Amino acid sequence: MSNSVARRAHHSSRVPLMAAANATTTSAGDTDPKTLKIDKKAVRRAQNEELLKNKNVQAFLQMTAKAEGGDYHAKFGWVRGKDAWTFSDESTHPGVGKDGHTTAAGLYQINRACWTEHGIKSQGLVDFSPHTQDLIAVDNIRSFKMIQHIVDGEIKTPIKVLLTRKQWTSFGVHKYETLEAWYKAAGGTLK
């Protein structure tokens, strides 16, 4: 196998991500350069949509959801079978839960700060629908540079990093073997 074929084969397992930037262009009949504005939020959102199609990313998200014990409409303090701490308005982040302070909500227990950073600022999302929650979870993982590990089927490092960085502290409640079993049950494959 030639070096170029080997490089292409190696990179084919990677998720292609396009870079967002501003570009300058000038048409043939015009001497004034024109600046093209690239919607960086739309590009980031499109990249996250592509990542959501990856079976290992889907499995990791399902594992995370199971570890968090949440539901797309759960607020902090929610207990399965009791809906006192649920929300139905998906137009915005639902705010604080049972303790009056913690804003963790939804399937991945996303707090208001994470929603603002990885939903509004990063992707231009403003609601708190189930699909938005999925996109925010992917963007959150990407912010810690762990998404390629997951795409490649290596979950131990992302679990450790996301736990130590206090993104999903529920990972610390469960043994790694349990998390791995949930990941595999959701269709994920290991490296």
Above 50 in pLDDT, residue 12? no
- Domain presence at residue 20: no
Residue 146 tokens read as 């762990």
Above 90 in pLDDT, residue 95? yes
Calculate what percentage of the chain has a pLDDT beyond 70: 84
Inter-axis angle of helices 55-68 and 40-52, nearest 10: 90
pLDDT, residue 23, reads 55
- pTM (2 d.p.): 0.83
- Domain presence at residue 3: no
More confident residue, 51 or 38: 51
- Domain presence at residue 172: yes
pLDDT, residue 5, reads 39
DSSP, collapsed to helix, strand or coil, labels residue 86 as strand
Q: What's the average model confidence in pLDDT over 27-34?
A: 72
- Domain presence at residue 191: no
The DSSP letter of residue 121 is I
Looking at the DSSP assignment, which residues form a beta bridge with residue 24? 35
- Domain presence at residue 30: no
Above 50 in pLDDT, residue 72? yes
Domain ranges, residue 125: 39-185
- Domain presence at residue 69: yes
Above 90 in pLDDT, residue 176? yes
- Domain presence at residue 8: no
- Domain presence at residue 103: yes
CATH code where residue 168 lies: 1.10.530.10
DSSP codes joined into one string, 135-147 = HHHHHHHHHTT-H
Beta carbons of 95 and 103 less than 8 angstroms apart: yes
- Number of domains observed in the structure of the chain: 1
Encode pLDDT of 32-49 as tens digits.
Answer: 777 778 899 999 999 999
Give the chain's mean pLDDT: 87
Q: End-to-end CA distance of the chain: give it in Å, rounded.
A: 23
